[in-house]
Amino acid sequence: MTTAMPHPSLRSLGAEIGRVSAQHIDRVFRSVLAGPGVVSESRFLRLITGEPHPFGNFALVRTPADAPGLQAAIEPLLACGAPSAVLFTEPASAAAEGVLHGAGFEPHGAMPAMAVDIDALTALDLPDGYTWARFGPDADADAWTDAFSIGYELPRGVGERFSPAAIPAGSNAADAIRFYAVLRDDRIVSTSMMYLADGVAGIYCVSTVPDERGKGLGAYSTAAPLRRARALGYRVGVLQSSPAGHAVYRRLGFVDVGTVPLFVRIPT
């Protein structure tokens, strides 16, 4: 299991919280992603599915200043011919931006790295008729994958790489990674995933299917797993936000602590 002793508060982490939050995405992707198209080495993690979406073909690079490592990470992305992305766990250097620009990647903003004291989370309730449950690697995995892919607007071939079915039962990753969903009439309408590592609880894969948006389900899917983590002794939650989710997370009590730079290449 990849957990460390839980940090008692945001204050206890000090300036380190930005690094912890940004690097958490590297930790979870290395635990979740495996199989065809995945290359995991010390300099980067790369996934190539060939699906027509940047998050189906991406490299997560640890050290932007490592030009040879960056070049090795992106060359297969260029060759695959599909939309692709590059993410960094620390600010991108001017040299790295030059390499990416020369390869056709354009800045796509930076995902805010955010954190919260779990005890300070805004209290939330589900609307009547909705329930919340944890999901495992069984027959429910297909339904979870469908809802996540639809809500996140991902090809299903990409969504299943981040689903409960991707985690072998009994593996070390299965102890640290937990999948959750909000249901209405036995239909999954909102999803999330929690990853316990580096002494904090990270939230990922928050999505809501289009016809159920605007009801606070995404906010609940974010907060409820963190309250479960609090019962396990965790006191700090982290995530990397999309632009659409940023205001929601701020209302929950999250604060900005860093960024995850994102570059995207869309072949003509």
Same domain as 166, residue 130? yes
Domain closes at, from 94, 112, 130: 112
Same domain as 128, residue 98? no
CB 241 within 8 A of CB 112: yes
Residue 8 domain-assigned (yes or no): no
Give the distance, in angstroms, between the CA of residue 58 and the centroid of all CA atoms in the same chain: 13
Tokens read off for 77: 């992305």
The answer on pLDDT for 233 being more than 90 is yes
d(Cα 49, Cα 78) in Å, to the nearest integer? Answer: 13
State the pLDDT at residue 48: 98
Same domain as 127, residue 74? no
Residue 153 domain-assigned (yes or no): yes
The answer on pLDDT for 211 being more than 70 is yes
Same domain as 240, residue 138? yes
Residue 80 is part of which domain span?
13-112
Same domain as 99, residue 172? no
Domain closes at, from 71, 88, 112: 112
Q: When comparing pLDDT for 156 and 244, which is higher?
A: 156
Residue 191 domain-assigned (yes or no): yes
Q: pLDDT category, 1, cuts 50, 70, 90?
A: very low
- Residue 195 host element (H or E): strand 187-197
State the pLDDT at residue 167: 83
Instruction: State the average pLDDT over residues 140-147.
Output: 92
The answer on pLDDT for 31 being more than 60 is yes
Sign of the alpha-carbon dihedral angle for 247, 258, 32, 74: positive
Residue 141 domain-assigned (yes or no): yes
Same domain as 165, residue 134? yes
pTM, two decimals, is 0.94
What value, to the nearest 5°, has the Cα angle with vertex 221 and ends 218 and 223? 110
Of 28-42, 129-143, 242-256, the poorest mean pLDDT is in: 129-143
List own/partner pairs for 123-126 with CB under 8 A and 24 or more apart.
Answer: 124/216, 124/219, 124/220, 124/223, 124/224, 124/252, 125/220, 126/182, 126/217, 126/220
Same domain as 233, residue 127? yes
The answer on pLDDT for 244 being more than 90 is no
Residue 220 domain-assigned (yes or no): yes
The answer on pLDDT for 172 being more than 70 is no
Same domain as 134, residue 107? no
Instruction: State the average pLDDT over residues 83-96.
Output: 94
If one counts the domains in the chain, the total is 2
Sign of the alpha-carbon dihedral angle for 93, 31, 49, 75: positive
Domain closes at, from 112, 140, 173: 112
Percent of the chain exceeding pLDDT 90 equals 87
SS3 56: helix
State the pLDDT at residue 268: 79
Q: When comparing pLDDT for 139 and 99, which is higher?
A: 99
Residue 99 domain-assigned (yes or no): yes
Same domain as 22, residue 70? yes
d(Cα 59, Cα 44) in Å, to the nearest integer? Answer: 7
State the pLDDT at residue 4: 78
Same domain as 155, residue 143? yes
Same domain as 123, residue 237? yes
Residue 3 domain-assigned (yes or no): no
Instruction: State the average pLDDT over residues 55-80.
Output: 95
Mean residue pLDDT across the chain: 93
The answer on pLDDT for 94 being more than 60 is yes
Residue 6 domain-assigned (yes or no): no
CB 57 within 8 A of CB 51: yes
Same domain as 120, residue 31? no
State the pLDDT at residue 139: 58
The answer on pLDDT for 2 being more than 80 is no
CATH, residue 148: 3.40.630.30
